[in-house]
Amino acid sequence: MVKNPYADIPENMSQTEAAADFVQSVKFADLPEQVTRIGTRCILDGLGLLVAGSDERCVQILAEQVRMQGGRREALLLGWGKTKVPAALAARVLGTAGHAHDWDDSQVSKDPKHVYGLLTHPTTAPLAAALAASQLLGQIPGRDFLLAFLAGFEVECKISEWMLPEHYMRGFHSTGTVGTLGAFAAVAKLMNLEANQIRNGFGMAASMASGIRVNFGTMTKPLHVGRAAENGVTAALLAARGFTADQNALDGPWGFFAVQGGGVDTKKLDQGFGFPWSIVEPGVSIKPYPCGVLTHPSMDLMLKMVTENDIKPEQIESITLFAGSNILNPIRYPIASNHLQAKFSLPAGLAMIILCRRAGKYEFSDSFVQSLAMQDMQRKIKTIHDSEMEKHGFDRMRSKITIRLKDGRDIFGQTDKPYRGGPENPLTDDELVDKVCSCCQGILDSSRQQQLIECSWNIQDLEDARTLAECIQPEKKKTKKQDIHHARIRSPKAF
């Protein structure tokens, strides 16, 4: 039996101490090849999504605010060319951009008590925080950057897995809350903080962790992840200066696990960090569609049904989707009126597939979602809770679809295989590259896209991780309208 190199801890060691010990002690030589391979794919995917997010209005608003706020020139402000701002503020914008399309990867769990798909998006917060911090710290080799990212990824996933499902079910957004701890862990590793400093940082991060699900379908949902990245950077910088917090802030009756999660599954704690690495087992899902992962199997099923039966939109009388509460409760918008709501709407996702036989960045835009064709098609689709399907449990994302055609025929379909993008049916490298290129379309030209892709695949050989931040930076093209907007905000009359 292979021994866990991170599980040699005294029985009385707290989980905060164990997490700090892991972050401080893990080395690149400890990383299995499969871990670095999947981690590289996650970074490539994440960088593409940062580029895509830079074009979103919520990110532009944040960037405009940060630019006006000013401060030390430490890290590039996404979407503003060579403009630099304080690293923590840069991380806020980066983290929000990475989650703006809800296209970032999803943590996988095989625990039947966890409702599938309701854990964390593990890449965005540690990646955004590490990108910002690496620019502040100076030249960081690509191998060190990859190690720090993977340390943050692992801490975020393990804590999310160990906490009871009550955390998410009570309304916390795990990517905002647990993502704060992952972001801090990544920056702490980059900064080579000592164990005592890391424990203080976890204490600060635990108090800063926030995000509630009521804001799903609004600009504030991706802001949760932006704040996670920002707070992770802030906690690490303060810890390095000697700022203190409770040394065991994850543990005990007033700790993070108890207060936000209702406790932990104590049987899992002996597993420890990094054995196995969560990125490999149970794995991570890299999304094919920019919306909640709970919609993906149904969207793929719809794509199969309309293509195999050559169904045209004008032939459809009505559509009924049957699913359990694990899907229908969080995917809550019966009719999406904008692109943010569409990310949490089964009728919207299915309508896109019916109308276009795809669902990407263009389809998830306000102009498309608000089109007459989309609004009409959504109204032909209803969702029904299926109690029999729910009895099978929440270990998989199950659904059934019935398409009623105008000629009276019914076409039936059911999700019956591992969903595309998940560990059992992952996107190929070529499919991943295609996704990244679609993220960058209209923002980076082809040569810049190629640079981003090559730097990501060859991250272990990069001499300076700051190259990654430069690869995703579009040239800022200010418009007259934006200049007027800034002038109005600066004017006291605006208030």
Per residue in 374-419, pLDDT tens? 999 999 999 999 988 887 777 678 899 999 999 999 999 999 678 8
Please tell me the predicted confidence (pLDDT) of residue 6: 52
- The residue among 163, 20, 186 whose CA lies nearest residue 95 is 186
**What CATH number corresponds to the domain at position 277?**
1.10.4100.10
SS3 label, residue 305: helix
Spatial CB neighbours of 173, under 8 Å, sequence gap ≥ 6: 211, 212, 213, 215, 216, 221, 224
Give kind and range of the element (H or E) at residue 345. none
Quick count: other Cβ atoms within 10 Å of Cβ 282? Answer: 17
How confident is the model at residue 395, as a pLDDT?
65
State whether 276 and 298 are in the same domain: no
Same domain, 330 and 255: no
The answer to whether residue 432 is domain-embedded is no
Q: Is residue 119 assigned to a domain?
A: yes
Q: What is the SS3 assignment for 65-106?
A: HHHHHCCCCCEECCCCCCCEECHHHHHHHHHHHHHCCCCCCE
Q: Model confidence over 259-310: pLDDT tens digits?
A: 998 889 988 988 899 989 999 999 999 999 999 888 999 999 999 999 999 9
pLDDT at 383: 96
If asked whether residues 278 and 318 sit together in one domain, one would say no
| Residue 355 domain boundaries | 293-414
What gap in Å lies between CA 147 and CA 67, rounded to an integer? 31
Task: Give the pLDDT score at 491.
Answer: 33
Q: What is the CATH number of the domain that holds 391?
A: 3.30.1330.120
Q: How many structural domains does the chain have?
A: 2
The residue among 254, 285, 316 that closes a domain is 285
User: Is 210 buried (19+), middle (13-18) or exposed (0-12) by CB count in 10 A?
Assistant: middle
Angle of CA points 365, 85, 237, to nearest 5°: 110
Residue of 372, 380, 159 lying closest to 271 (CA atoms): 159
Whether residues 49 and 168 fall in one domain: yes
The pLDDT value recorded for residue 484 is 32
Do 191 and 82 reside in the same domain of the chain?
yes
Residue 12 CB neighbour total at 10 angstroms: 6
Residue 87 in any domain: the answer is: yes
270 lies in the same domain as 298: no
Burial readout 227-250 (b: 16 or more C-beta within 10 A, e: otherwise): bbbbbbbbbbbbbbeeeebbbbbb
Rounded distance between C-alpha atoms, residue 140 and residue 394, angstroms? 42
Query: Alpha helices of 365-404 — where are they, by DSSP H?
Result: 366-369, 372-378, 387-390
Per-residue pLDDT of the chain (495 residues; tens, 9 = 90+): 344 555 455 567 899 999 999 999 999 999 999 999 999 999 999 999 999 999 999 999 999 999 999 999 999 999 999 999 999 999 999 999 999 999 999 998 888 777 655 589 999 999 999 999 999 999 999 999 999 999 999 999 999 999 998 898 889 999 999 999 999 999 999 999 999 999 999 999 999 999 999 999 899 999 999 999 999 999 999 999 999 999 999 999 999 999 998 889 988 988 899 989 999 999 999 999 999 888 999 999 999 999 999 999 999 999 999 999 888 888 889 999 999 899 999 999 999 999 999 999 999 999 999 999 999 999 999 999 998 888 777 767 889 999 999 999 999 999 967 888 999 999 999 999 999 999 999 999 999 999 999 999 999 999 999 999 999 998 765 444 444 343 333 333 332
pTM value? Answer: 0.88
Q: What one-character-per-residue DSSP string does 415-460 give?
A: --SPPTTSTTSPPPHHHHHHHHHHHHTTTS-HHHHHHHHHHHHTGG
From residue 322, give the alpha-carbon distance in Å to each of 94, 295, 381, 384. 37, 12, 11, 5
| pLDDT value, residue 169 | 84
In what side-by-side order are the strands of the sheet with 410-414? 381-385, 316-323, 399-405, 410-414
Rounded-to-integer distance, Cα 247 and Cα 287, Å: 37
Q: Which tokens go with 386? A: 């299926």
| Helix or strand run (H / E) with residue 488 | helix 480-490
Question: Can you say whether residue 383 is alpha, beta or left, with left for phi > 0 and alpha for psi between -120 and 50 degrees?
Answer: beta
In a domain, 297, yes or no: yes
Q: Hey, is 216 helix, strand or coil?
A: coil
d(CA 86, CA 75) in angstroms, rounded, equals 6
Burial of 83 (C-beta count, 10 Å sphere; 0-12/13-18/19+): middle
